[in-house]
Amino acid sequence: MSETKITVIYDNPLSPEEFEASYPEQQLDVARSFPGHIRLEASKVWPKEDGSPTPAYRMIDLYYPDYASASEAVTSPEAGRFFEAMGRLSTGGVRVLFSDIEVPQA
């Protein structure tokens, strides 16, 4: 059975400073507390060299052993706190994806 990845893609916030002030505690720390994940990655999109807006701002990837585990994790109290804060902080928009890992990390 293949791994499943939950990806949260934060689009460019209206105020990056306000987003960054809350992101570590209200998003990253809470994501770390999601039950059952086997790996977490957090990333920030490099700015474009010409100064134009990037297609996204930040991402969090949570890896699970299977789809059932990922689905169960998003019903946890930790996920409830995460998604509530995500709605408030994501002033530029946000996308959440469940993906099947086709080529696992070696």
Positions of the chain with pLDDT under 50: none
pLDDT of residue 6: 98
What are the backbone dihedrals phi and psi of residue 93, each rounded to the nearest 5 degrees, phi first?
110, 160
Q: What is the pTM of this model?
A: 0.91
Residue ranges of domains in the chain, CATH in brackets: 4-100 (3.30.70.100)
Residue 103: predicted pLDDT: 75
What was the pLDDT predicted at 41? 97
Residue with tokens 């169960």: 72
Question: pLDDT for 59-87, tens place per residue?
Answer: 999 999 999 999 999 999 999 999 999 99
Instruction: Please state, in angstroms and rounded to a whole number, the distance separating the CA atoms of residues 97 and 13.
Output: 19
